[in-house]
Amino acid sequence: MTESTIGDTHDAETYRVLDEAWNSWGRLDSDVIAHLINPAFMGGPQWPALRQAHAISRRDDALLVASSGLADPTEWENSEPTNGYELEVFGISPDIPGDSDTISVATSWLGQTVMTVSNLVAQYGFRVSDMLEQYGVITIQLENAQLPRAATGTYLDEDGALVVMLGLVGDELPGTVPGPLSPIRLVNVKLLTVAEGRFCVNNSMGDADARHELARRFAAQGDVLRSSINRPSVV
């Protein structure tokens, strides 16, 4: 079986279940954020079936950006075919105007953050899925993050780095959708304040317990899946 045959057989159902999820949250754009030249051909990380894009869904009070391609049906040399890395990542923010055009969304801090995380997932592949399965939520640091100047000191540390949490779940979206080859995890990207990021490593309860304590505090704060540079820190 060739990769194109897998795509011919399973792409449509994959797109359907993901579109249904993003449409259940808001109004899914017919256009996606895409590159004129695939970054994989210029030394960037290779996505499972090479297709690399990002979807946009809109509400009046918030905007969602999600990877589109990390879960594309893929045949592997040494294992059974899967829905790619069995996940797509997404971020939600009320900070980005819901009527922003596609280019403005792509260049916004939300768009740039989700794209950066998407490429890190593409780089590390199934290791990300395995870590989420083991720990539930994980944190990663993004160097030279693109956030508004107002976020310096609160969300960006003195080196310009940002910490994000992956894997939070909430009522706004399902945690997984049924892909035709394997379940697809919908992985939330949550911006952490500098204090929250440091709490994950400088605490007396252990890194995993600290992350779950943050998750508990986010749930109590409300809007657990949403990121905003105006959100008060829970630490």
Instruction: Indicate the SS3 state at residue 62.
Output: coil
159-169 burial: b if 16+ Cβ within 10 Å, else e: eeebbbbbbbb
| Angle, CA 71 vertex, CA 58 and CA 142 arms, to 5° | 70
The model's confidence at residue 1, banded by pLDDT at 50, 70 and 90, is: very low
Q: What is the pLDDT of residues 17-28, one digit of tens each?
A: 999 999 999 999
The pLDDT, as a whole number, for residue 207 is 85
Task: Report how far residue 102's alpha carbon sits from residue 183's, in angstroms, rounded to the nearest whole number.
Answer: 29
Q: How confident is the model at residue 187 (pLDDT cuts 50, 70, 90)?
A: very high
Do 188 and 93 meet the contact criterion of CB atoms below 8 Å apart? no
First CA to last CA distance, the chain:
52
pLDDT at 178 over 50: yes
What confidence score (pLDDT) does residue 43 get? 65
Rg of the chain on CA atoms, in Å: 17
117-157 confidence digits (pLDDT tens): 999 999 999 999 999 999 999 999 999 899 999 999 999 99
